[in-house]
């Protein structure tokens, strides 16, 4: 469990020394709690496109799958629904209480500039914000942090996440641009830790032996801005396997281009439905204007041909996609992708299993060897089947997100 106070990125030993610091902090807290409630409202109203953040790791797919799974639990489990709704009702109560306190402090400040103890005394932040020392679930924190980071995420002309807008975030939370960088990095770090916890949880279900369990946690590394990272290929493999058990459909959208990205030639939309019997996915075509489910994971990408002569007939192209299979296409893409983001982990982007920080047992060495062999095998396959940036003739993965009925 996590505390609401963790949403405030200040050292808990920090002391407030003036009335202005206290009033400003209360205003920031009200904004944070207000946006937290908006997160639940978006979740309940299927506005799931508001949970598509840029975190700075290679695990955008983990947030998409996790929120889709949570949405299904929310729909079909009264226990989950009541738990999430009760937590957000409590957040609303706390927000109203803090807003009342802020207004009272403002009135006291305007009434006199003389010393008033509760306004002007030196006070630790933990004591001052004691009402926020309450626990919330990891699911609630996932929704809140995803929503916060989505607010400030900008997209490029292809609709993929590109950069963070510190100005937008600063304006929303009544803070400076410099402080917004600290807030955003704090939420990125929180969300990356939740993501690594998810991978660890899935792995413990798939592999119940001790060597695997101990190994999975050790594969996580700390990248730029202290963001926790998990190998991209292995993470996606775990998600696809777990999603079969969760029975969430996966939509694949392919925009086809000829020679450049100025104008799309056409678009293909497929839905892949999980099969527990075969532990895989079965494809069928859907009209791009018809949603296959009220929520699903959307794998968005493109293919590009050098000229009209190389352009494959659309029916033939669909058969190529279906015959290759979702598992092969997606894992080939993520194998060809850098396994970690940022610059501090450059040495491990091609091989995330090298120079591990702990001693491997003989059994774990064998597991690492099999992980590495599978990664390199799919990386070679990516070039052959057309799933790399240099050869995107089948499918080049641009982004993974949750898709809602609204879209």
Tens-place pLDDT, residues 108-143: 899 988 888 888 899 888 888 887 877 888 889 999
Residue that wins the pLDDT comparison between 188 and 288: 188
In this model, does residue 96 exceed pLDDT 50? Answer: yes
Percent of the chain with pLDDT over 90: 41
What is the model's pLDDT at position 339? 94
| Per-residue pLDDT tens over the stretch 283-309 | 876 654 444 445 789 999 999 998 888
What is the model's pLDDT at position 289? 46
| Per-residue pLDDT tens over the stretch 295-354 | 789 999 999 998 888 888 999 999 999 999 999 999 999 999 999 988 888 999 999 998
What is the model's pLDDT at position 321? 94
What is the model's pLDDT at position 88? 85
What is the model's pLDDT at position 324? 95
Q: Once rounded to an integer, what is the mean pLDDT over residues 59-75?
A: 88
What is the model's pLDDT at position 350? 92
Q: State how far the Cα of 239 lies from the Cα of 219, in Å rounded to an integer.
A: 16
The verdict on pTM exceeding 0.85 is yes
In this model, does residue 250 exceed pLDDT 90? Answer: yes
What is the model's pLDDT at position 158? 64
Residue that wins the pLDDT comparison between 275 and 1: 275
In this model, does residue 61 exceed pLDDT 80? Answer: yes
In this model, does residue 398 exceed pLDDT 80? Answer: yes
Residue that wins the pLDDT comparison between 185 and 2: 185
What is the model's pLDDT at position 288? 44
């Amino acid at each position: 469990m996590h505390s609401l106070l963790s949403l405030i990125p200040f050292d808990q030993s920090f002391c407030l020394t003036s009335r202005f610091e206290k009033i400003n902090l209360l205003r920031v807290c009200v904004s944070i709690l207000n946006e937290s409630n908006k997160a639940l409202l978006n979740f309940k109203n299927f506005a799931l496109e508001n949970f598509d953040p840029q975190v700075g790791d290679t695990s955008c797919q983990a947030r998409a799958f996790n929120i889709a799974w949570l949405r299904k639990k929310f729909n079909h489990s009264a226990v989950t629904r009541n738990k999430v709704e009760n937590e957000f009702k409590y957040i609303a109560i706390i927000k109203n209480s803090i807003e009342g306190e802020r207004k009272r402090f403002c009135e006291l400040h305007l009434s006199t500039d003389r010393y008033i103890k509760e306004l002007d005394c030196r006070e630790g932040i933990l004591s001052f914000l004691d009402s926020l020392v309450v626990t919330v679930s990891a699911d609630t924190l996932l929704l809140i942090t995803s929503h916060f980071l989505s607010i400030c995420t900008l997209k490029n002309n292809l609709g993929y996440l590109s950069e963070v807008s510190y100005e937008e975030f600063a304006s929303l939370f009544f803070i400076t641009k410099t402080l917004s960088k600290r807030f955003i990095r704090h939420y990125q770090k929180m969300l990356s830790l939740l993501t690594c916890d998810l991978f660890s949880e899935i792995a413990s279900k798939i592999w119940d032996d001790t060597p695997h369990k101990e190994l999975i946690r050790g594969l996580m590394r700390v990248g730029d801005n202290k963001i926790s990272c998990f190998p991209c290929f292995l993470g996606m493999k775990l998600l696809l396997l777990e999603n079969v058990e969760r029975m969430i459909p996966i939509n694949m959208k392919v925009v086809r281009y000829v020679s450049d990205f100025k104008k799309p030639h056409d678009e293909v939309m497929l839905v892949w439905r999980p099969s527990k019997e075969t532990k895989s996915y079965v494809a069928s075509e859907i009209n791009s204007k018809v949603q296959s489910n009220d929520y699903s994971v959307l794998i968005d990408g493109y293919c590009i041909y050098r000229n009209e002569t190389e352009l494959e007939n659309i029916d033939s192209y669909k058969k190529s996609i279906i015959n290759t299979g979702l598992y092969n296409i997606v894992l080939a893409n993520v194998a060809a992708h850098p396994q970690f983001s940022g610059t501090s982990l450059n040495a491990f982007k091609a091989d995330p299993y090298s120079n591990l920080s702990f001693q491997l047992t003989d059994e774990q060495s064998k597991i690492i060897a099999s992980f590495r062999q599978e990664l390199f095998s799919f990386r070679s396959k990516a070039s052959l089947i057309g799933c790399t940036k240099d050869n995107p003739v089948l499918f080049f993965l641009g982004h993974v997100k949750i898709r809602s009925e609204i879209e």
